[in-house]
Amino acid sequence: MIKNRKQVSFSRMVVLVLLLVNAVILKIAFTGNSNWYWALVIFVPLLLLAFSNIRQKKHAILRNFPIIGYLRYFFESIRPEMRQYFFESDLDGKPFNRRQRSIVYQRKRVRIFSFRLNTKKPLKKRSRHVVLKT
């Protein structure tokens, strides 16, 4: 039993698989059929995209899942159409519905608050009444 076994991250596995696929395609194209060079048109940009996603710091999903992360963003962009025809409405979520969550995500990203957290009226209002001792 190996105790000090280190786990390989998913993003490094994707890069390793893409490197192996590119190497196999190059070997087949170089030794045999030259039509296999066209496959490199697909797999070399995928490899470069995976490298750039691992190095970027803005999106954790793209950093951890280099190619598959774009599928999440794609399905998130077509979510309203899918929900309209197949799933529940935006107000049916538990414990928070989708509309409340999207407001929180938007405020987190942009740091814009649509309401103030304090009162709009002054707390210490000066009184105009005069108290006289008699």
Q: Given a cut of 80, is residue 83 above it in pLDDT? A: no
pTM: 0.54
CA–CA distance, 31 with 111 (Å, rounded to integer): 56
Whether the CB-CB separation of 15 and 64 falls below 8 Å is answered with no
Note the pLDDT tens digit of each residue in 1-51: 566 677 778 888 888 898 999 899 888 888 888 888 888 888 899 889 888
Please tell me the least confidently modeled range out of 2-16, 36-50, 55-69, 102-116: 102-116
Instruction: State the average pLDDT for the chain.
Output: 78
Domain assignments of the chain as residue spans, ordered by start: 10-110
Whether the CB-CB separation of 53 and 69 falls below 8 Å is answered with yes
Average pLDDT over residues 81-107: 73
- Alpha carbon dihedral 42, 25, 21, 67, in 10-degree steps, equals 0
Q: Percent of the chain, pLDDT > 90?
A: 4
| Nearest alpha carbon to residue 10 among 67, 79, 71, 91 | 67
